[in-house]
Chains A and B, each alone.
Chain A
Amino acid sequence: MLHISPEEIAETLLMVQQQHLDIRTVTLGVSIADCGADDADEMARRLYDKVTGAAERLVPVCEAIEREYGIPIRNKRIAVSPVALAAGRCASSDLTPVALAMDLAAEAAGVDFIGGFSALVHKGVGAADDALIRSIPAALASTERVCSSVNVASTRAGINMDAIARMAHVVKETAALTAERDSIGCAKLVVFANMVEDNPFMAGAMHGPGEADVVVNVGISGPGVVRAVIAAMPPEADLTAVAEAIKATSFKITRAGELVAREAARRLGVAMGIVDLSLAPTPAEGDSVADILEAMGVERCGAPGTTTALALLNDAVKKGGAMGTSSIGGLSGAFIPVSEDAGMVRAVEDGALNLEKLEAMTAVCSVGLDMIAIPGDTPAETIAGIISDACAIGVINNKTTAARLIPVVGKTVGDHVSWGGLLGAAPVMSVSEWSSAGLVRRGGRVPAPLGSLRN
């Protein structure tokens, strides 16, 4: 007998067809620990073979699941182990061939992004880390699909200011090398604090050292669904009721992710990893996190009350999502990437939202300062200061934060940038003109906070 009511069926169909409910990504994590070699070209070949072998059926399986369950799977992606961890034997300091192989492997598998051109340097920079970081600008300039990430801080280790200073220069260099495309290289580069092993979203996805050889991780999405639920509530519904509604909706969205994750793992014959509960916007109309905050009652995202609304939203998403899946992981928070959220863009253009407010908002969700276009002439030390501020919030509060800043060469405040597709478009935001150089040039490491002593 039909234990599901027609109303519930109609609700699911409405979520998919009108409210942009989808699975944002099915990401295949592939270990490349066994791909090390004495030279970069050989490592590149081994990586290509390993990844294409593991990912051969990823896209067809996802497409079948989409058709049979009626829920779109927006992206299929691949994440490999941090390349620096497998490159220890490489004699050459140029790891670009490995990035090129990643790009080709992603293309062969039919995926749009492959993450893991990464290094973990929160305590120090080893030889392979150094080679990786050195290779990032060229790697991102010469590939389409490769994403890079570097972990420069953690609650256990503190904040590596030397690494941050260096990464600020890497960001500028990457911007310069991709200047003719509005510095798009920087849109594929994330600097992290407390990076996680199983984040399915780009550009920060990598396959952590603690994982099995191949896993499937799923990132869900549904800002449009959440917004619709809140907009349908009476204006006098109190914040507790709003939180409850978000929680219930988040449960349903997460369940769709759980189902897809189980099925994808089963059909691919690999371990099921995690479901990332994050509410991730896209540039499409009606798919915005900022719109949710405005539906909750702030006139524009960025107005006083925004941080409160986001705190409520982030927490309710987690509570509902926690019931919905057997394995929560990844970032599991609300995303606030400026260029990928039409509501955020509008808020910036209206003067309601600035970098400082985004930094406050990061304190109550995750992701950090994401997809933010800044003037091309922003000094490296200032970029380092912005990155380290994002890291400080993550380190002290024991959460993942990151900075994905794009200093757009040749553009300044008021100019517009457009990278297309899921990367979206954004106005260039203003950055404080006061200098951070004195602090950044001191270098060294901000010691791990007392809160890290949990034993």
Chain B
Amino acid sequence: MKTRAILSVLGADRVGIVAAITAVLAECGVNIEDIRQTILSGVFSMTMLVTVDEEAYPFEDVQARLAEVADEIGQQITLQREDVFRFMHRV
């Protein structure tokens, strides 16, 4: 079952953020559909639309792996099912 989700990253800019995160996503079989990323006054911010293959790797396990990476690279990483944004921001 393919679940669309939004991955949000926020933290102080440094080398290796995108590499660390995309490595984990590849490991979990998560496909990246869209990426937006920007740096404002040294603050790194990235939003991705991804697809999680829940049969291969359950949603909560992906969240857990991302939480580990977040600690390693000092970023705040949130993975949420896409519906919540679609529900709140569209009629």
Q: Which residues of A contact B (CB under 8 A)?
A: 1-4, 6, 8-13, 64, 67-71, 251-252, 255-256, 258-259, 323
Bound-state Cα–Cα, A448 to B33, Å: 62
Contacts of A323 in B (CB 8 A): 91
Contacts of B36 in A (CB 8 A): 2, 6
Would you give the shortest CB distance from B44 to chain A, in whole angstroms?
A: 13
Of B38, B45, B84, B86, which is within 8 A of A70 by CB?
B84
Would you give the shortest CB distance from B1 to chain A, in whole angstroms?
A: 13
Bound-state Cα–Cα, A251 to B59, Å: 28
Bound-state Cα–Cα, A142 to B62, Å: 45
Contacts of A10 in B (CB 8 A): 8, 45, 47
Q: Does A69 lie within 8 Å of B81, measured CB to CB?
A: yes
Q: Does A69 lie within 8 Å of B89, measured CB to CB?
A: no
Would you give the shortest CB distance from A272 to chain B, in whole angstroms?
A: 14
Of A3, A64, A69, which is within 8 A of B83 by CB?
A69
Contacts of B28 in A (CB 8 A): none
Bound-state Cα–Cα, A70 to B78, Å: 8
Contacts of A259 in B (CB 8 A): 83-84, 87-88
B34 at the interface (CB under 8 A from A): yes
Q: Does B89 lie within 8 Å of A258, measured CB to CB?
A: no
Beyond A4-B90, A256-B84, 4 additional pairs, beta carbon < 8 A: A10-B45, A68-B60, A71-B84, A258-B87
Instruction: Name the residue of chain A whose CB is nearest to the CB of B47.
Output: A6
Bound-state Cα–Cα, A134 to B83, Å: 48
Bound-state Cα–Cα, A12 to B8, Å: 11
Q: Does A70 lie within 8 Å of B80, measured CB to CB?
A: yes
Contacts of A4 in B (CB 8 A): 6, 82, 85-86, 89-90
B49 at the interface (CB under 8 A from A): yes
B31 at the interface (CB under 8 A from A): no
Would you give the shortest CB distance from A401 to chain B, in whole angstroms?
A: 31
Contacts of B8 in A (CB 8 A): 9-10, 13
Contacts of B79 in A (CB 8 A): 70
Contacts of B86 in A (CB 8 A): 3-4
Contacts of B91 in A (CB 8 A): 251, 323
Residue with the highest number of chain A CB atoms closer than 10 Å, among B59, B79, B80: B80
Contacts of B88 in A (CB 8 A): 8, 12, 252, 255-256, 259
Q: Does A2 lie within 8 Å of B60, measured CB to CB?
A: no
Q: Does A2 lie within 8 Å of B33, measured CB to CB?
A: yes
Contacts of B83 in A (CB 8 A): 69, 259
Would you give the shortest CB distance from B11 to chain A, in whole angstroms?
A: 13
| In the complex with contacts A13-B8, A67-B60, A1-B84 CB distance below 8 A | no
Of A2, A69, A252, which is within 8 A of B47 by CB?
A2
| In the complex with contacts A4-B6, A68-B59, A252-B89 CB distance below 8 A | yes
Would you give the shortest CB distance from A20 to chain B, in whole angstroms?
A: 15
| In the complex with contacts A4-B6, A252-B88, A259-B87, A69-B80 CB distance below 8 A | yes
The 0/1 profile, CB within 8 Å of A marked 1, for residues 51-91 of chain B is: 00000000110010000000000000011111111111111
14 A–B contact pairs at CB < 8 A?
Answer: A1-B33, A2-B36, A6-B45, A8-B88, A8-B89, A10-B8, A10-B45, A13-B78, A68-B60, A71-B84, A252-B88, A252-B89, A256-B87, A259-B87
Instruction: Name the residue of chain A whose CB is nearest to the CB of B37.
Output: A6
Bound-state Cα–Cα, A403 to B20, Å: 56
Would you give the shortest CB distance from A11 to chain B, in whole angstroms?
A: 8
Would you give the shortest CB distance from A238 to chain B, in whole angstroms?
A: 25
Instruction: Name the residue of chain B whose CB is nearest to the CB of A65.
Output: B81
| In the complex with contacts A9-B8, A70-B78, A2-B84 CB distance below 8 A | no
Contacts of B38 in A (CB 8 A): 6
Contacts of B33 in A (CB 8 A): 1-2
Instruction: Name the residue of chain A whose CB is nearest to the CB of B49.
Output: A2
Would you give the shortest CB distance from A265 to chain B, in whole angstroms?
A: 14
Of B6, B34, B59, B81, which is within 8 A of A1 by CB?
B34
Bound-state Cα–Cα, A4 to B8, Å: 13
Q: Does A9 lie within 8 Å of B60, measured CB to CB?
A: no
Bound-state Cα–Cα, A71 to B84, Å: 9
Contacts of A8 in B (CB 8 A): 85, 88-89
Contacts of B45 in A (CB 8 A): 6, 10
Bound-state Cα–Cα, A256 to B86, Å: 10
Of B63, B85, B87, which is within 8 A of A9 by CB?
B85
Bound-state Cα–Cα, A352 to B36, Å: 49
Bound-state Cα–Cα, A3 to B34, Å: 10
Contacts of A71 in B (CB 8 A): 84
Which residues of chain B in 15-39 are interfacial with respect to chain A, using CB atoms and an 8 Å cutoff? Answer: 33-34, 36, 38
Bound-state Cα–Cα, A326 to B41, Å: 43
Contacts of B49 in A (CB 8 A): 1-2
